[in-house]
Amino acid sequence: MSETELIAAAIRAQQSPLTARLRGPAIAALAGRMAAAGARPGLGGLVAAAPRVVAGLRDEHAAAQRRLAAIEVEVHAAPDAAGRRQALARAIRREVKPRGRRRGDLRALRRDLDLEAIRERFAGELDELETQVELTLALIGNAPAALASEPSAGPILRRAGLPALLCAQALPQPGWRPRFTLRLAALTALQRVCEALGPADPDAAIATAMDARVHDPDEHPWVQAAALVVLVAVAPAAGSRLGAAILRAPHDLSGRTGDGSVGDLAEGPCEPAPARGPARSV
């Protein structure tokens, strides 16, 4: 087997059987990226290369959005239908590399291919890039358990800067609002990495970011729940207070003080639970 095939096999081994079957082309593409980034086939080598690979995927994701925006500007600037068709034809010649498909698109342009069809093509390209990011996050999430028996596990996770990398994938940013399954994969991996590194490793920025995820009314409930779990892992006292506030008022995720803040996220000792009296027989 080639090195790329060995890397693909290592990636598949860290996915669920269903994901491994359904995401074959994406896994192959990701393996090629990992090999180009200098990754070694072992899990430790893949984890070390993950930040470079994710950065490259995010750069391509942003570049694709810029290309689509430029096409939209060009099409909307055309004065009439003929001008819009000419703008779309220029976009097709730039974007569609296979000659046969390019000729087919240019013929379809005379019938029903329009800007919305171009947007759908770009949506497919963005989805492929996000799928590769999600596969990488799942690989990272499985790394702490898989590397637990290796003495180098802690240094590998620290050197890779994984907590900050994972946190960034789950946060909405200009041009980056991926599907909720990717955000959920990022927070699941973040929880596992933070627990493996211990409470002294993550910084306060992660606690603040997780608090924001929990309180974002537009966030998916599963992602909000995962963010709360991470908050408990990195800031147990703050996470416990917020969890208790949510239980008291499940339809009000504020848990905030009168000035609108959530209170001090800096860690102090968790308050002990009140002592219970002896159980009474019924």
Among 21-35, 95-109, 138-152, 187-201, which range has the highest average pLDDT?
Answer: 21-35
Residue in the structure block whose two tokens are 């358990």? 145
Instruction: Note the pLDDT of residue 158.
Output: 64
Whether the CB-CB separation of 163 and 194 falls below 8 Å is answered with yes
Distance of CA 146 to the CA centre of its chain: 21
Identify the band that residue 280 occupies on the pLDDT scale cut at 50, 70 and 90. very low
Give the residue, 111 or 30, on which the prediction is more confident.
Answer: 30
Instruction: Note the pLDDT of residue 224.
Output: 93
pLDDT in tens, 222-272: 999 999 999 998 888 888 898 888 888 766 655 444 344 444 554 444 343
CA distance 58 to 64: 10
CA distance 157 to 143: 9
CA distance 92 to 106: 7
Average pLDDT over residues 34-39: 94
Instruction: Note the pLDDT of residue 274.
Output: 42
Number of other residues whose CB lies within 10 A of the CB of residue 125? 16
pTM for this predicted structure = 0.80
Q: Identify the burial level of 181 via C-beta atoms within 10 angstroms of its C-beta, where 0-12 means exposed, 13-18 middle and 19 or more buried.
A: middle
Q: State which H helix or E strand residue 234 sits in.
A: helix 221-234
Both structure tokens of 193? 């990495």
Q: Identify the burial level of 39 via C-beta atoms within 10 angstroms of its C-beta, where 0-12 means exposed, 13-18 middle and 19 or more buried.
A: buried
Which runs of E-coded beta strand occur in 164-266?
A: none
Domain boundaries, the chain: 3-145
Average pLDDT over residues 44-66: 93
CA distance 188 to 193: 9
